[in-house]
Structure 1
Amino acid sequence: MNSAVVTAEERSTVPQIAYGREFWLAYFANTALIVCNSSLFRYFDFVSFLGGDEYNLGLITGFGMAGAVLMRFVQGAMIDRFGTRVVWLGSLGLLICALLGHFAVGRIDGPEIYGLRLCYMVGLAGAFGSSITAISLKAPKGRATELIGVLGSSGFIGLGIGPLVGDIIFAGSGTIESKIQMMFVVALFASCVSIALTFLATRGDRPQVSRNHPSLWKLIREYHPGWMLVMSFAMGVGVLFPQIFLRSYAKEVGITNLSSFFLVYAITAFSFRLMTRKLPERIGVKNAATIGILILATSLVLYLFVRNPWLLPIPAFIGGMAHALIFPAIIGGGSVAFPKKYRGTGTNLMLVMLDSGGLVGQPVIGALIAGSRKMDLPAYPITFVAIGLLLATIALLNQRFAKPVVAREEDSPDLEDRAMCVNESL
């Protein structure tokens, strides 16, 4: 049986198949992973239960994002050396351990919650990066962004399920502590489903023989996609905002249920992703990325008009359109600048910049909200406008100064091969 999820070393011997059994196993494994993550969108309730506020939320989530950023460099090299299966399953195992550890957390000011959030984010980052790399390696020539986009649509399904389950849990009877524990139980169950499907999806993969790997700096200097890195950072700031801070904003304006937002967001993003899956290849990833970030900036400003649950679908609809367009354009378009044998490093570099947007953005946004309140200023309106202007400025600078990304579909002689040639000649 041909494996649809392969290592970089196997790419020359396994036929390239766009969609197959293993692809769909990976698809639903990714769906379960996003259900796990999106069911924790009420993480603010957990922080609040422990006595924290938005500032603590920003610090905790930002610390976790820092771990994901640092580990992505290691994970990318590990994928290139040992294949996606090892990193994928190992990352999910770490994520499950982190979720179990949350049941023992009892205070907001201890190191436990920071360490567990870090492990959770490292596991999430590794599993997500491995799935994208696996599909990118299997994509037929010229269709990498399409397949990454279709794989990403699984996330929108998970995004619609997780918050809905969260609303059902928190709308029921029982103490807040029991509801929070049930939230983590749901996340734990979804992560177990994900690791089981991942095991099946990668069952046919052969271990990759360890090989010399050029330094990260040499790879980035040789193949980096330029402004696309900055665009990935901007996407991280904007896309991660509702996942972390929407709950606290909704609570401030008196909205208790978030499922309408995420259902509209997920349905819009899923539909728009399928309709535009080939658009980046038609109009160019640069243009698609610019348009998507401008739409994302617009969605943030639209939160200003949300004062009741019936208005939540407005920014959800616009934000879903933006998310559907920018992820395959930016992550897929940037990662294909790297040869396939280093696609793990390329994919994780783009995801590093995405996570860096959250790493920088979440603590800054949390501090901006808390600081504005202390000065009796409209905290969230200031935040929405400031972040929207930042994203719009980055998008316009990208359109003005960025150069088109050159896709490397084949493994032409690269850094390692040239180094070997030099050694042989000596």
Structure 2
Amino acid sequence: MGLWQGAGDALGYRAYTSILTATPTNPRWSVMNSAVGASPETLSEPQIAYGREFWLAYFAHTALIVCNSSLFRYFDFVSFLGGDEYDLGMITGFGMGGAVLARFAQGTLIDRVGPRVVWLGSLVLLIVALLGHFWVTTIDSPLIYGLRLCYMVGLAGAFGASITSISLKAPKGRGTELIGVLGSSGFIGLGIGPVLGDYIFAENTPLETKVHLMFLVAMTAGGVAFVLTLLATWKERPRPAGHHPSLVKLIRQYHPGWMLVMAFAMGMGVIFPQIFLRGYAKEVGIANIGSFFLVYAITAFTFRLMTRRLPEQIGVKKTATIGILTMAASLVMYMVVHNPWLLPIPAFLCGVAHALLFPAIIGGGSIAFPKKYRGTGTNLMLVLVDSGGLVGQPLIGAMIAGCRVLDWPAYPLTFISMGCFLSTIALLNQRFAKPIIAQEDELHEVEERSLCANENL
């Protein structure tokens, strides 16, 4: 039995390599063409790595992160309106909820019409939402919740479309690498945005002026992202709207298993410095948080480039486990921070964690879907990251507020609880997760046709 199975595997491997080496001028190509109904244009799709389009997308992504990170002082805006950490958690959590729901539709839309339309449309929505914040005058107004919702939906769409666009152009076997390198642009933006925020709020001007200037800077960065995206996607054309299997069927067929849980844990971990660091710094008497994000960005950028092939070398599972454990350690190390000079300690660990997690979890999870449905796969992973933020933001805000009511050490208890939770998830992942194999359209054409046919029955 083992002999026949080995012979079958050998013949299967030869057939597989024959298909991969087939070309329009090779007689074997016609056999494959008739078998799967492919065209020369499909099978000779250009595999672009670091070309002009990539670098335009890279800097568009940088501008998008500058836009978002310049709002890391959103707590100052909430405080200006009379709110506290609880209000902050509820407002940002409501916005994240909208992003989670929108991502399901955005993934399908990207697969149908291409990343360009979703990318540009999302940036327009984001800029309009930022503009609307100039008319918010009270913390209890539904307007602030609606604007935060629109902002997060726009941010989610632009983020998911940019990753999908690059993933579709990546050479075979280098998807996680290009997604990781694209993500390194975010660390540049992460280093710029908070520094701009500190500069704005250091000025001797009324708080209202500072808050409005913060939103104006974010809108400007969003506008730059729109122009660069327009140039980066200039040659992209809308896709014909063919049949698309239901979201439930696609997820059931191609989901990356335990990696979904890891994405959720990542979402809970990464939101703390973005949302709650300002409040913690204020409590321990630290005026500026720009140094944290500068160290964070430099560390993550450098480490990302150094380890861009790590998920392919040691595996997605092990890389993700190391990343979550490092993030847990960074949360615990906040407890030693009592002055600005100690902020680089958790910043360094957080930067290393983020550098490892993004390509391993987002890239590694999305490649479990064929390229034809890569938009759905990418947005599924981002949905889980956003879901972690959706649960984490109000939960952390309520935990901090509740500890203060009980006169307990609010932030230390939060750090320890989050660190233990993330460590448990990481260890379970290492124990139970299965390896992820990248899917290619050509090898799954018959399977996808069957999926669509079953849906029509």
Q: TM range, normalised to the smaller chain?
A: over 0.9
Q: 1:174 and 1:414, CA in 2 relative to 1: closer, same or farther beyond 3 A? A: farther
Tell me what 1:413 maps to: 445
Give 3-state SS (helix, strand or coil) of 2:171's partner: coil
Contact 2:245 2:452 in 1 (8 A): no
Contact 1:68 1:118 in 2 (8 A): yes
- Distance in 2 of aligned mates of 1:339 and 1:115: 35
Contact 2:176 2:311 in 1 (8 A): yes
Q: CA deviation at 1:423?
A: 9.7
Picking from 90, 97, 106, the partner of 2:121 is 90
Contact 1:11 1:137 in 2 (8 A): no
Tell me what 2:421 maps to: 390
Q: CA deviation at 1:14?
A: 3.8
TM-score by length of 1: 0.96
Alignment gaps of 5+ in structure 1: 1-8
- Distance in 2 of aligned mates of 1:150 and 1:12: 25
Alignment gaps of 5+ in structure 2: 1-38
Tell me what 2:79 maps to: 48
Tell me what 1:241 maps to: 272
- Distance in 1 of aligned mates of 2:449 and 2:417: 47
Contact 1:129 1:347 in 2 (8 A): yes
1:366 aligns with 2:397: yes
Q: CA deviation at 1:212?
A: 1.2
TM-score by length of 2: 0.89
Tell me what 2:343 maps to: 312
**Rg larger for:** 2
One-letter amino acid of the structure 1 residue matched with residue 282 of structure 2: K
- Distance in 1 of aligned mates of 2:204 and 2:87: 27
Tell me what 2:222 maps to: 191
1:343-382 equivalence runs, <5 A: 343-382=374-413
One-letter amino acid of the structure 2 residue matched with residue 60 of structure 1: I
Q: 1:192 and 1:301, CA in 2 relative to 1: closer, same or farther beyond 3 A? A: same
Q: 1:300 and 1:83, CA in 2 relative to 1: closer, same or farther beyond 3 A? A: same
Larger CA deviation: 335-344 vs 404-413: 404-413
1:136 aligns with 2:171: no
One-letter amino acid of the structure 2 residue matched with residue 28 of structure 1: F
1:252 aligns with 2:283: yes
One-letter amino acid of the structure 1 residue matched with residue 172 of structure 2: K
Contact 1:142 1:409 in 2 (8 A): no
1:284-299 equivalence runs, <5 A: 284-299=315-330
Contact 1:293 1:322 in 2 (8 A): yes
Picking from 102, 106, 111, the partner of 2:133 is 102
Q: CA deviation at 1:410?
A: 3.4
Contact 1:214 1:415 in 2 (8 A): no
Contact 2:284 2:338 in 1 (8 A): yes
- Distance in 2 of aligned mates of 1:261 and 1:420: 49
Give 3-state SS (helix, strand or coil) of 2:286's partner: coil
Tell me what 1:179 maps to: 210
Q: How many residues in Structure 1 have an aligned counterpart in Structure 2? A: 417
Q: CA deviation at 1:51?
A: 0.5
Q: 1:111 and 1:416, CA in 2 relative to 1: closer, same or farther beyond 3 A? A: same
One-letter amino acid of the structure 2 residue matched with residue 417 of structure 1: R
Larger CA deviation: 409-418 vs 209-218: 409-418
Tell me what 2:369 maps to: 338
Contact 1:301 1:388 in 2 (8 A): yes
One-letter amino acid of the structure 2 residue matched with residue 265 of structure 1: Y
Q: CA deviation at 1:247?
A: 0.3
Tell me what 1:4 maps to: none
One-letter amino acid of the structure 1 residue matched with residue 191 of structure 2: G
